[in-house]
């Protein structure tokens, strides 16, 4: 497994979102900071609260020129059904389904059980990893810590 660390250029990827559109990380270079959110599984309690929280705070993310790319190994139709069940998600829920977990492996967050661990990577507008954090699977990542990092990055740009 790779070990993506602060200061590295983020490994590029292109994955399908809940609307079946392809989303490429490098397409955000020069325009948006990106929060890459690896989460284990759609429809699980902690992941559901986590994704709803990001949607509720979307204005905070927009305010620091940040876009969220949420990644799990769930297939595309599951991502669509999950987004619908959450009342609609305005950011990208990406499927790392085929080849299974390739992006999760590239970022070094593939759990031995075959799904991503819970991890965050903030990629700045230059495509460089500016912050990372990994959490225990049942742990809810603290929103305040993420937003604080994004505000610091936005102030330095």
**Strands, DSSP E only, in 17-155?**
22-24, 33-38, 66-72, 92-95, 118-123, 129-135
- C-beta separation of 154 from 64 below 8 A: yes
Q: Which of 10, 15, 42, 47 is catalytic?
A: 47
94: its two tokens:
């990406």
> Is 47 a catalytic site residue?
yes
User: Hey, which residues are catalytic here?
Assistant: 47
């Amino acid at each position: 497994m790779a070990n993506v660390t602060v200061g590295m250029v983020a490994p590029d990827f292109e994955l399908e979102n809940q609307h079946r559109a392809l989303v490429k990380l490098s397409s955000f270079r020069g325009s948006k900071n990106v929060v890459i959110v690896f989460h284990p599984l759609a429809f699980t309690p902690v992941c559901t609260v986590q994704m709803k929280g990001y949607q509720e705070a979307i204005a905070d993310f927009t305010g620091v020129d940040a876009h969220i790319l949420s990644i799990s190994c769930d297939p595309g139709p599951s991502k669509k059904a999950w987004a619908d069940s959450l009342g609609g998600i305005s950011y990208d829920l990406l499927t790392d389904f085929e080849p299974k977990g390739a992006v999760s492996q590239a970022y070094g967050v593939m759990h031995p059980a075959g799904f991503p661990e819970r991890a965050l990577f903030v990629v700045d507008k230059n495509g460089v990893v500016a912050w990372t954090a990994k959490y225990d699977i049942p742990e809810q990542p603290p929103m305040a810590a993420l937003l604080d990092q994004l505000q610091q990055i936005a102030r330095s740009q």
